[in-house]
Amino acid sequence: MLQSDPEQLKQWYSDRYEILLRQEKVAGYEQIKASYNACPNGADLLFLCRSCYGGVVRFRQSDGYMSTPCGVHKPITPENFALRVDEWKLLTPGAEIACIGYAEAMSMAQPGDLVYCDPPYSFSQSILYGAQSFSLSDLFEAIQQCKMRGVRVALSIDGTKKSGNTVCKIPIPEGLFEQDVLVNCGRSMLKRFQMTGQTLEQEVVADRLLLTY
C-alpha cells in the first residue's frame, strides 16, 4: 500500500486516530483492537502498531489474538504519519516484502548481498515474537551457509543490560563472525514506560552487532 496507494494508507491511520479523539483513549484503542481480532486486516494493525504498549505487538499462539494493551504514549498525529509515508515511499521503490521463514529468505541471498538478522533476544524477549520455538543454533547454521556463499551477514543480539553491569552470555560459534561491536542503545525503551518519572541512569543497554565481514 505504501507504493501502490499511499493516500489510502494515510486515510487508514487518520480514520482510526479519529476514533481515539472521539472517546477515552483506551476505549478507542480497545475498539480498534476488537475490530482487528474479529477480522484481521492491515488497516487496523497499522494503527495498533503505532499505539500499543511499547510498540511491541503480541499475538496469542493458539489463535492469533492480538493481546497488547494500549500504550501510555500519545500516538503520532495523522499529519506526522503522513510525512513518514511520503518519506518512506521515496526510500523504498522496488522493495519487496515477504512473510516467509528466515532460512528460506537467507537461502535466496546471492554473493555480495547483505542479510540483517534481528532474532528474539535470549535475555529479554523469551516470551515475545514466538521466541519459545526459536533456535539460535539453527540461525547460526543459516548464517554459516550464507558466509560460505559470499553473502555478508549482520546480526543484532543481546549485549549488556543495566549500564553494562550485566553482560549477556551468548554461545557464539568460534570463527563465524569477523567483527563484534557493542552499540549503545541508550535507556531501555520498555523501562521508560515502566518507570515513569525516574532518570534510568542504570537502565542503559547495549546490543552486540556481529558481522561476518
Domains and CATH numbers, the chain: 6-91 (1.10.1020.10), 102-211 (no CATH)
Distance CA 178, CA 137 (A): 18
Interatomic CA distance for residues 113 and 150, integer angstroms: 8
**Is the pTM for the entire model greater than 0.75?**
no
Q: In terms of Cα–Cα distance, which of 132, 121, 130 is closest to 57?
A: 130
Site of grid cell 549485549:
159
The reported pLDDT for the residue numbered 199 is: 47
Q: How far apart are CA 190 and CA 171, in angstroms?
A: 26
pLDDT category at 132 given cuts 50, 70, 90 is low
Looking at residue 77, its pLDDT comes to 97
Contact of 62 with 53, CB cutoff 8 Å: no
pLDDT value of position 56: 85
Sequence-distant (≥ 6) Cβ neighbours of residue 98 within 8 angstroms:
105
> In this model, does residue 157 exceed pLDDT 70?
yes
pLDDT reading at 197 higher than 70? no
CB 40 within 8 A of CB 57: no
- Look at residue 162 and tell me whether its pLDDT is greater than 90: no
